[in-house]
Structure formats: C-alpha cells, structure tokens
Structure 1
Amino acid sequence: MAQKQYRNIDRYRDLLTRIAPSRLVEQTRQSVIGHEGSLEAFVTALSFEVNRCVMLARGADPRDVLSPAAILVMGSTGTGKTHTIKAVADAAGLKLFVFDVSTMTGEGWRGASMINCLSQVADYQAANPGEICLVLFDEFDKAVRVEPDGGEVASSFSPSQSFLKLLEGGEMPFECDTSKSAAIKTLNLDQVVCILGGAFMGLDALVRKRLGDKSGTTVGFGSSYAAVRTAAKSANELRDSATIEDVETWGIMSELCGRIGSVINFNALSVDDLVQIAYEQYLPKHNNMMGNGAKMELTADAARLAAKRAVKEGAGARGMLRQLRPLMMYAWRDMREDTYISRATLVVSDGELAVAYERSHEPRGFCRKRWGRIRPF
C-alpha cells in the first residue's frame, strides 16, 4: 500500500511539472493560434485547480485548502475555445471529458443524461485510481439560464442543482441504471476539475450597460468622456471586462455563480488569425488527404477573402473552413481522377474563390527511368 502511495506521489510530481503555467502555455502555443491573454488566463486557472486536487490526493485536509470552483470559459462559435481546452489537456497529459449540456435530459427521457455522463467519469476513476481529470460541460449557457419569472429554461432536469452538487467536493455516490439493474457508483469530486463553456450571447450588451451606468454616476466633463469611451468599445473589449456579476445578471443563478472561480473570455479570431489557421492547420491537413503526390496551395488573396467573409459572418474558424472546404473537396476529386494535374491552387477570380489547376506532361506520382520506362515511386 505504501509503495503504491509513493508511486502516486511521483506521478503527481510529474503532473505538477507538466502544469507549470509558463511551460504549459509554451507547449500549447504550438497548436493554438491567437488568444494570447485568454490562453494564459485559462492555463493559470487550470493549474491552480489541478494543484488543489493534487494537495487533496496527497492527503491534505479539505478544511485547509480552498473549496472547489469551476472555470467559466466564454466565446462565440468558432473562436476555438474547445480546441484550446483540448490542446491544454493534451499538453498537460490530463484526461478530458467533453459533454454537451444542451442535449442532456432527465432520467427516462431520450438523450444524454447527467447521470450517464457522470458514470463515464466514475468508471474512469475506478479504472485509474488517483488520476485527476478534466470535465468540460459545453453549451453550458443553453441549459442553466434562469428566466425572468424565476424558472430555468425549458428542460427535463434541473441543471443548476446538478452543477451545484458537482462543485461541492468530496465523494458523491449516485445511482445509475445498468442493462440489468440499478447500481451505485461513486465519483470523487476532489479529483475532477469542472470547466463550463458557452457563448453567452448578449452578455456584451449587459457589460456595456453596466459600464455606461457607472460612468453616468460621475459629475463633470469626465463623465461624458467615459460614456463615449464605453459606447466605442467593441464586443470583444466588453466581454473582456465581464465579471461574475455580469454572468449572474445574464441569467445564471447566484448560488451557481458563487462556485465559479474564474471567468475567461475567448475573443473572436481576427482576419490575420484565420489566415494563419488556414496555412498552418487546414492546408496541411488537406494535403495529407490528397495522396499520390498531389498538392494544393492557397494564395494570400484567397486566404484573406475567406477570412474576411468568416469574420463578417461571425463564424470564426468554422466559417473559414466552410469557405474553403467545398473547393478543397472538388480539387481532391479532380486530382484523384486526373493524374496529369500537378497542382491545384485556391485563387480569387472575379471576386470569388476558385480553383486553378496546373497540368504536366507526365502522370503525377510517376518517374521516367533512363531507358524510358515509366514506373511509380
């Protein structure tokens, strides 16, 4: 038993090295584009919460450490918040569970349930005792918003109460249905870091109102200047100024807000960010699928046109890929069917994205030996 405990301590020592904020940011930066400040804030919050879990795993008295707290991550669609969380988890060597809260239902209803999700985490803990894991509840905002009449959004279960239980710490036994009968499982909440993700549409307007009301309470020339500055703030700047009080005003119940330790905003990606994503992520992955010596290129004009359209749509990286993917598919098809096409290039033609082909005198993927015979590489 003592030997197993020492192995756990050594494992936690390695984990603490991996989650050192500066090291983790540097490693994650290799696969995450943009979000400099947001990435650093998220890594710091995650490292802090994981360190708390390690202290408890090493035998610290729960009364001597801070109570558990969730990390709230905000960002509109396509900002890459889920991608960033996955990249951080991979770099830290931590198991990550991702559950879509918007599809959850109560017991006995069709769809995923909170019990089924927790059962997966409990099974992982049973198979990997002492392991710390991360649980991302995506689309969190779509399930727990409190309506003006005091009730929650239409749902077949009580999401707010479910999340409150998850943030109490300690061991939580729960009953889950198996194929034959009900079973009791136990989830060690002291070995779980909860991350709550969502778009929180309309939050920037609430922040603008709060800042505007605050500037209006002052007297003199400075008050009008402050109001003008507030009115000129972009949605990204307003979201960066969001506090947990703004989240509560938006509609999250106060008891749940009290158990959120960090509010981190992932801003919309810029045109330059999307262009970089196209060259460093989308294009290499597409060329990996081409095969047989086929290659596709992307002109700077085409990349910027697709990026500007994605920004205008407010769809971020997903919008960028939606612009490029159809052309990539047609280029893939044409180059597989015609081996004399040596290269395909995404260009701008008459203001629209298009594919230009270059042809060669020999089939792609073949070389001519000195005696004139053609053979594959």
Structure 2
Amino acid sequence: MADFDEKDKDQKDALTEDQKESDYEDVCFICRRPESKAGKMFKLPNNICVCNDCMHKTMDTVSQFDYQGMLDPNFMNSLNQDMSKKGFPNIRFLNIADLQGEGGIPNKQKIKKKKKSEGSEPVLDIRNIPPPHRIKAQLDDYVIGQEHAKKVISVAVYNHYKRVATGTMDDIEIEKSNMLMIGPTGCGKTYLVKTLARLLDVPLAITDATSLTEAGYIGDDIESVVSKLLAAADNDVEKAERGIIFIDEIDKIAKKKNTTSRDVSGESVQQGMLRLLEGAEVEVPVGANSKNAMVPLTTINTRNILFICGGAFPDLEEIIKQRLRRQTSIGFNAELKDKYDNDTDILSKVTIEDLKKFGMIPEFLGRLPIIYTLKALDKDMMVRILKEPKNAILKQYQKLLELDEVQLCFDDGALEAIAEKAMKKDIGARALRAIIEDFMLDIMYEIPKDDNIGKVTITREYIEGAGGPVIDIRNSAAISADGLKAIEVQEK
C-alpha cells in the first residue's frame, strides 16, 4: 500500500509540474521565436525545442556538404559491412549533455500562453472601475496636497480604462489620453503614480528616460520601457497590454542646443517614442532590456497602454517668465517685469510654446494631450506630510518604538522645525526623511539600553540642537516582579 501511495504522489507531482510548464510557450533554441509565431516545435532532449523552419534549414545545410567523406559510396559500403567494428570514423557528434542548462529557458524568459477567450466579454468590467471621486479619495489617504493633479489623473485613468473595457462606444473610437506631469523635485510625481497603480491593481513599469538612446547605440533601446512592463505583468502579454508605463526624467531627452554632433539621447529618443505613445505593435525581448540572439521576442500592442511622463524641467520657469515679461508695459496699472519673480506657482502658467522652447519636439507633445503641473511644497504641506498619510514617516518610527514598548510623540513645534529645515534644503519631501534619520539616530541607539523608558517626546529645542528630548519613566505598575521583590527587601 505504501508503494502505491508513493507512486500516486509521484504522478500527482509530475502532473502539477506539467501544468506549470503548460502555462508557458516553447521557444525555438535557434531563432528564439515562441511557438505561437514559429508553429509546432520539434522536441529534443534536455527540453530543447527547434521550430520547423530552423530544422529544415539545418538539414538542408547538412545535405549540401560532404562531411569527412560521409557521402562517398565506398564509405557507406564499408560502413554497412562492418558497422559494429568500425563505427563512424573521423566523425564527432554533438553531445546533447553539453547543452545542459542552456536548453532549459529560465521562467523569467518564458512567454505565457494567451488564454482562449470563451466569449466576447471585455477584459475589464466597466462596472468595477472606480469612479474619479473614489480614485481621488483613495489618493488623498496617501498623497498630501496636489488637488488639481489628483483630480486630473483620476479622470484620465477612469476614461482610459473605460476605453479599454469597451473598445468602442457607438462606433466612435476613443483616443488614448497620455499625460505629462511637470513639477519640481520632491513634490510627489513618482509617488502619485506608484500609489495609483497599487490602488488599481494593474501592472506598472517605472523607467528612467536618462538611459534611453537611439537604436544601435550603447544604452537601453526605446522598446525596453515596454519590456519592463512585460516583466511587471509576469510575462503575460494580455495583462501587460492594459498596464501603465511611467517614464520619469522625461526632460532629460530634450533637444540639445548649439550642438553639431548627432543627438542620440535627446531628439532621436523623442522621435523613437512617437510610435509607442500613438499605439503600435512592437517586438520586445522577454527577460532582458536589449534584443540578442539568446532572448525570445514577443509582440505587444501599445494601443491600450497608458503612458505617463514626468519631469522636473529645470530652467522652465525662466522660459515662462521671459514669455510673460513681453506682455509688461509702462504706465498706471501696468504689469511690471518683477511681478513674476516671487511667484511660487509659475509652472502652472506653462504652455506648449514654452515646452517647445525647452527642447521638446511638437510631435512628441502632440501625443501627450493632458499636461498638468504639481505645486512646490510649502511649510504647511511639509507638516501634513509628516503626520497625515497612512504610511507617514513619523508613524513608521512610532511603530518601530512600539515594538520596544516605548511611546514616541512629536509636539507641534518639533514638526514646524523639521519642515523649516526641509524647506532650506530645497529638495522637496525627500529632505524630511534625511532630517528625521539624523536626529532619531541617538534615540534609536539609546532607548533599547534602558527598559524603564516608557515615553519619548521630541521637542523643537531638540531639533534645533538647543536641548534634548523629554523622556518619561514607566509608572510603578510597569515594574517587573523582580523589581517588586527588591523594593520589599529594602523596606524590611
């Protein structure tokens, strides 16, 4: 009975292993095309698969040459006479065992099969897509401020996934609404997109435009942004074709000014991205950033992929001010040239002409119809960022000290002092963590030494270096049993 149980268990394990393998397509060992493109495969030992075309080409090539006299009739006659003794003279065959490890393609380079749809139901159910006000309400729990940006991105995402779910509406094809967000560093551009993708539960690829170059040059190809989305979707093409791609630092591919050399990482990248933004079928490598002979390729249609581009666009403020200053005049009630010098929300007045002058080509901007800006963080927003979001940095430290049974508190003066220091660094919300890590170092080091500490209050004086934190000792009820025995002995 035990033997039968072990056999059944082995059969079940083999079955589950076959089910795992059946989720992926076979890839030709020579041309690297998947089975859906190349057709039925020839199965060889060690999980090596060869497509019909490559097998015929190989056999045709072999038949054209006379290897070591194999096609000589005398050789064939002698071979037939005594094959057991002579074997195959002067011939070395390929040892299949030498290919161990190469034939088996890692899971990250396998391509998932497309599931056959039984009906014509849309991939996304339009009734389950949250409306814009719910998307914005969920973003409010994590992102402080930026009300206009959250409203724009909520409406754009809602309309985009309605378009993906229905395809057409009354025979009217709805165009894709790609977005361009402009804002200073540390204002929450990347954090906003990360939060949005987590709430919608869709594949998200965050890539950097600084490493992109024109095809044929050192650097990542433009199609690599789509291959990262495919990796985020677990190599499921159907799932990746309705994901979101966020391209950060998009201002770094602006046209280079006053240069005579070929602009392979600037204007050429913008031109190469036009077909991706518009919607086209592109061949992308699976499990790698660049195309090579050992990586399988698959085709992805970018028509339903939402592209969100973001960048800080330094010096764009000066371009906007130069345009606005041309409208100034002299006389009563006239606009003065220094009117916009102290305007903290100058980026909200950006136009397409300003972005063209910055170095973005018109064709690229035309494929990003939604352009909006994010405001720079002020002192009040910094204080709110410290304490209000669900995963605020102060809540993280409070949770860490709760594990040591210590209560951590911050008074209002301490929060304002942290915000004032962060404003001086001029790097946005990223400065908050750097400041808190600095003054929390000694506290996190000293508290585990003393078990009697029950509460620590951070004050403004401690942040400014003029004092220390307020430390409260645990009350008598928290004294251990050994401590009570010691007190009784002293009293006797």
* TM-score between the two structures when normalised by the length of structure 1: 0.82
Partner of residue 89, structure 1? 197
Determine whether 1:297 maps to 2:412.
no
Report matched runs for 1:233-312 at 5 Å. 234-236=343-345, 238-280=346-388, 281-290=392-401, 291-312=403-424
AA aligned opposite 2:414: A
Partners of 1:76 and 1:199 within 8 A in 2: yes
Deviation at 1:234, TM superposition (A): 0.9
Secondary structure in 1 aligned to 2:156? helix
1:158 corresponds to which of 268, 288, 293:
268
The answer for the alignment partner of 1:144 in structure 2 is 254
Cα distance in structure 1, aligned partners of 2:444 and 2:218: 39
Give 1:166's aligned amino acid.
L
2:456 is paired with a residue whose SS is strand
Matched, 1:172 2:282: yes
What is the deviation of 1:199? 0.3
Please state if 1:129 is matched with 2:238. Answer: yes
Larger Rg: 2
- Measure the CA separation in 1 of the matches of 2:453 and 2:219: 47
Structure 2 unmatched runs, 5+: 1-115, 487-492
Q: Please show how residues 1-377 of structure 1 align to structure 2 within 5 Å.
A: 3-6=118-121, 8=122, 11-15=124-128, 17-18=129-130, 20-56=131-167, 64-105=172-213, 112-123=220-231, 124=233, 126-127=235-236, 129=238, 132-149=242-259, 155=265, 158-174=268-284, 177=290, 181-216=294-329, 221-222=332-333, 224=334, 226-227=335-336, 230-231=339-340, 234-236=343-345, 238-280=346-388, 281-290=392-401, 291-349=403-461, 352-353=464-465, 355-360=468-473, 368=480, 372=484
Shift in alpha-carbon separation, 1:3–1:102, aligned structure 2, 3 A? same
Structure 1 letter corresponding to 2:404: N
Deviation string, structure 1 residues 166-189 (Cα, Å, up to 9, x no partner): 112132234675786253321221
Taking a change above 3 Å as real, the CA distance of residues 165 and 297 of structure 1, as seen in their structure-2 partners, is: same
Q: Helix, strand or coil: the match of 1:214?
A: coil
Residue type of the alignment partner of 1:294 = V
Q: Report the AA paired with residue 155 of structure 1.
A: S
Change (3 A) 1:336 1:115: farther
TM-score (norm. length: structure 2): 0.65
1:297 counterpart SS class: strand
Does the 8 Å CA contact 1:74/1:265 hold for their aligned counterparts? Answer: yes
- Pair 220,327 (structure 1): closer, same or farther in 2 beyond 3 Å: closer
Query: Within 2, Cα distance between the matches of 1:96 and 1:363?
Result: 53
Amino acid across the alignment from 1:246: D
**Cα distance between partner residues in 1 of 2:190 and 2:340:** 30
Could you say what secondary structure the match of 2:278 adopts?
Answer: coil
CA distance in 1, matches of 2:316, 2:185: 14
Letter in 2 for 1:87: T
SS at 2:184 equivalent: coil
Q: 2:424 is aligned with what amino acid?
A: K
Equivalent residues of 2:178, 2:368 under 8 A apart: yes
* Matched letter for residue 370 of structure 2: S
Flag the 1:231–1:177 CA change in 2: closer, same or farther, 3 A. closer
Distance 1:45 1:115 in 2: 24
One-letter amino acid matched to 1:134 = I
| Displacement of 1:161 | 2.3
Residue 157 of structure 1: how far off its partner (Å): 9.5
Offset of residue 24 of structure 1? 0.9
Question: What displacement does 1:276 show?
Answer: 1.2
Equivalent-residue separation in structure 2 for 1:34 and 1:156 (angstroms): 33
Q: Which secondary structure does the structure 2 equivalent of 1:235 belong to?
A: coil
Q: Distance in 2 between matches of 1:183 and 1:271?
A: 51
Are the counterparts in 2 of residues 105 and 157 from structure 1 also a CA contact under 8 Å?
no
Shifted more, 23-32 versus 153-162: the winner is 153-162
* Preserved CA contact (<8 Å) 1:146 1:152: no
Q: Which amino acid aligns with 1:171?
A: E
Aligned length: 361
Deviation at 1:150, TM superposition (A): 7.7
1:93-131 CA-to-partner distances (Å, cap 9, x unmatched) read 332211122234567877655343322323538516256
Look up the equivalent residue of 1:143 and give its one-letter code.
Answer: I
Change (3 A) 1:95 1:355: farther
Deviations 1:109-164 (A, max 9, x none): 77655343322323538516256211100111113344244878673993212321
Using the TM superposition, name which of 349-358 and 268-277 deviates more.
Answer: 349-358
Please give the alpha-carbon distance, in whole angstroms, between the structure 2 residues aligned to 1:72 and 1:301.
Answer: 38
Contact 1:144 1:152 in 2 (8 A): no
Structure 2 SS opposite 1:187? strand
CA contact (8 A) 2:254 2:358 kept: no
Larger relative contact order, structure 1 or 2 (CA cutoff 8 Å, min sep 6): 1
For 2:462 and 2:404, the matched residues in 1 are separated by 31
The alpha-carbon distance between structure 1 residues 177 and 324, as it changes in their structure 2 partners (threshold 3 A), is: closer
Give the superposition deviation at 1:363.
11
Higher share of residues assigned strand: 1
Superposition deviation, residue 198 in structure 1 = 0.6
Answer with 195-204 or 127-136: which moved more.
127-136
